[in-house]
Amino acid sequence: MKINGRPATPAQARRLGTVFVVVGLVLAVVMSGGAAVAHLLGPDRSGWVTTNGTVTGNEQGVRVDVDRGGRRSEYQRLVTWTVDGQEHSAALGATSSKPFRVGEQVTVSYDPARPDRAELQGGASTITLVVGGAGLAFGALFAGIGLAIRRRAG
Give the pLDDT confidence of 87-106 residue by residue, as tens digits. 999 988 777 778 778 998 99
Same domain membership, residue 35 and residue 62: no
Same domain membership, residue 54 and residue 111: yes
Same domain membership, residue 133 and residue 122: no
Check residue 51 and give its pLDDT. 94
pTM over 0.85: no
Contact at 8 Å (CB) between 143 and 19? no
Same domain membership, residue 138 and residue 119: no
Same domain membership, residue 55 and residue 13: no
Q: Work out the angle between the directed axes of helices 124-153 and 10-41 (0-180°, nearest 10).
A: 170
Beta strands, E only, the chain: 2-3, 6-7, 49-65, 70-83, 86-96, 105-111, 114-120
Same domain membership, residue 133 and residue 118: no
- Between CA 106 and CA 94 the distance in angstroms is 13
Tell me the residue range of the domain where 147 lies. 2-42+129-153
